[in-house]
Amino acid sequence: MCNLHAIQRCLIAFAITSILQACGVGPPVKQPLPEPPPPPAQYIPREAGPSASPVVALLDKAQIAEQAGRLEDAAATLERAVRIDPYDPMAWQMLARVRLAQGDGSQAEAMAARSNSLMYDDETSQRENWRIIAQARRTRGDEQGARAAERQAGI
């Protein structure tokens, strides 16, 4: 019983926040407990986000258009995907790639950066964004910036 209690407390030590109240146990409290903190810690599942499927369907469609060289159609389709889920980093990344292919380096760079700001744990994709940024900067003649981006991309 006591042992169980100890394990329970041990767990609490690593999850200091809201669990305190849920368990009703904790270190001796001399002062009132802090207010329940606002939840935004790490990785809150999107409560209302749509499932990935319509976006994935559009990304597939855009890829076909991109490979066929129909870049404007690909861009239009990807914008449709962004409208449906603006927090999908892959849609932004593909859009950045298409814009780069269309010769719009500044949009490519901004969109790849936008993609990175939405990317939480996918290092491969993050590196791909940096690669796009590097290419965009090089096209602009910003060799130093390109190299800095390449370092981020791990090249």
Partner 1 sequence: MGLNYNRSPVNRYRLVRMAKRPRAKSARAPTSRRTPKRKPARARRGRKFSALRRGVFAGVWVMALIGVVAIMGYAAYLDHQVRERFEGARWELPARVFARPLEIYAGKALSADALEEELRLLHYQSVEDLTATGVYRAQGDTVTLHSRGFPFWDAVEPARLLRVEFRGDRVAGVFDARKNTILDLTRLEPVPIANIYPTHLEDRLVARLVDVPPLLTKTLIAVEDRDFYHHFGLDLGAIARAMVANVMAGRVVQGGSTLTQQLVKNLFLTSERSLVRKLNEAIMAGLLEWHYSKDEILEAYINEVYLGQDGARAIHGFALASQFYFERRLSELRSDQLALLVALVKGPSYYEPRQNPQRAKDRRDLVLTQLREGGVLSTAATTEAQTRPLDVTATAPSGVTPFPAFVELMRRQLQDQYPEQALRTEGLVIFTTLDPLVQIAAEQAVTSKLTELEAQRGLPAGSLQAAAVVTAAETGELLAVVGGRDPRLQGYNRALDARRPIGSLIKPVIYLTALARPREYSLASMLDDQPLSVRLDDQQTWSPRNYDDEYHGEVTLRDALVGSYNVSTARLGLAVGIHEVIDTLQQLGFTHRLAPYPSLLLGALEMTPLEVSQVYQGLAAGGYRTPLNTIREVMSGAGEHLSRYPLNIAQAADPASVYLLNSALYEVTRQGTARSLQSLLPATLKVAGKTGTTNELRDSWFAGFSGEHLAVTWIGRDDNKSTGMTGAVGALPIWADIMGNIQTRPLNLNTPPGTEWLMIDARGGLLADEYCAGAQWMPFVEGSAPTEYAPCAHSGPVERTTRWFQDLFN
CB-wise, 111 or 149, nearer to partner 1? Answer: 111
Coil, strand or helix: which one is 48? coil
Stretch that binds partner 1, among 12-20, 130-138, 139-147 (CB under 8 A): 12-20
**Shortest Å distance, C-beta 148 to partner 1:** 16
Asked if 50 interacts with partner 1 (CB under 8 A), we say: yes
Stretch that binds partner 1, among 68-76, 134-142, 147-155 (CB under 8 A): 68-76
Asked if 54 interacts with partner 1 (CB under 8 A), we say: yes
CB 77: neighbour CB atoms within 10 A? 25
Using CA atoms of 5, 7, 9, 10 in order, give the dihedral in degrees to the nearest 10. Answer: 160
Distance of CA 100 to the CA centre of its chain: 20
**Dihedral over Cα of 147, 110, 140, 95: its sign:** positive
Binding mask 82-121 for partner 1 (x = CB under 8 A): xxx-xx-------x----------xx--xx-xx-xxxxx-
Stretch that binds partner 1, among 27-35, 135-143, 147-155 (CB under 8 A): 27-35
Q: What angle do CA 61, 104, 147 make, to 5 degrees?
A: 105
Terminal-residue alpha carbon distance, the chain:
56
Structure tokens at 67: 């490979």
- The contact set with partner 1 (CB under 8 A) reads 6, 9-10, 12-13, 16, 20, 26-35, 37-38, 40-44, 46-51, 53-54, 56-58, 72-73, 75-77, 79-80, 82-84, 86-87, 95, 106-107, 110-111, 113-114, 116-120
